[in-house]
Structure 1
């Protein structure tokens, strides 16, 4: 199926953007590093520079995901949906078919999220992801199986968690300072309690199973991203 037809099944207003035709005022809203990447006419150069950016920031934390992207990333392009610009990744799955991931422009939702009052308490590397790489990076059709946009980060205090009544031991996170930064789309969250997040400490939280505490955020994020790529 042609790319834009596939994307339009999920968001009717989505369009591919020709960077050369963008007005200067709109170009100024795109971070410099991404403007340089998507302005390249050669898609191989766009891919190469994208991988360089990932490696410069997260070569250790997301090593397996970067390795997969290095072998299977086909293109990166600018798209727009209802006035919001994001980066579209075209990636080969293990069968050689295309799958599409979306990366928000870094920094664009920090001021408009529930996290704003807690941003300085957020682990440095996690802030770096949202400030320097992407405002979320996830499977386009579901907006899940990845790090979500800050505007979609789950504020645990706002949700009613029925699983709490079924916990086998007292809850070990402060719901008032816990956010879900990664969703697997099947009731699983990689969450960070900002009162207990030293050394990238995180919690695997499930809507239908017991939580797993004291996991490393990036180890799980890397594993879950790879699972999404390889499914």
Structure 2
């Protein structure tokens, strides 16, 4: 099965953007930085520019993820799905399988979603990832094991959490101001309570286990992304 046929199992309307189509993309739909990366014809220099962008945005926060990409990123391509542009990453796992990860291309309206009213209260490092690098970065088939797109962020108040009746200690977050930015696809979330997020403080939340409060958002994200890249 070729790559496009594989992808279409999960996204019926997905397609690749050719170099000819790239020149017609409006800057409102893609930053100049991303256009510059994809216009680079030399594969090695193009990868260097990509890694440089990651380092510019989150070198400290996602150091292990960036290191893994440096060593195991085979190629990356521009894709489009229902008018939304994204980067398709082809990454080698520890089992020598090729894993496809998706990173949404940020636009000026990337955060006008469920987060619209509260976006200004989100920690700066998280906003910079979504605004300057990717609107989510996750395993494409499951849309999990990564930072989800802002339009799919879990607003905790919208859900019935059965675990609330089983907590050993009083609830340590405000459900009404908590958002899950990361999903592992098996009931695990890395969530931010906007009432308590100084220094990127987060909560490791599970649907079937006790939460872990006051963890560092990026430490958990970095660890879990690399686990997914190695073992997915």
- TM-score of the aligned structures, taking structure 1 as reference length: 0.96
1:104 counterpart = 2:104: yes
Q: Return the offset for 1:45.
A: 2.3
Q: Which residue of 1 aligns with 2:5?
A: 5
Q: Return the offset for 1:67.
A: 0.7
Secondary structure class of the residue paired with 2:100? strand
Spell out, residue by residue over 1:77-127, the C-alpha distance to the aligned partner (whole angstroms, 9 max, x if none): 110111111111111111222111000112455443111111111001000
Partner Cα separation in structure 1 for residue 136 and residue 24 of structure 2: 25
Going from structure 1 to structure 2, the CA distance change for 1:206 and 1:79 (only over 3 Å counts) comes to same
Partner Cα separation in structure 2 for residue 152 and residue 164 of structure 1: 22
1:208 counterpart = 2:198: no
Partner Cα separation in structure 1 for residue 63 and residue 25 of structure 2: 36
- Map 1:34-73 onto structure 2 (within 5 A): 34-73=34-73
Q: Structure 1 unaligned runs (5+)?
A: none
Partner Cα separation in structure 1 for residue 144 and residue 102 of structure 2: 10
RMSD between superposed Cα atoms in Å: 1.4
Q: How many residues align?
A: 231
**Residues 64 and 226 of structure 1 are in contact (CA less than 8 Å); yes or no, is this contact kept in structure 2?**
yes
Secondary structure class of the residue paired with 1:214? strand
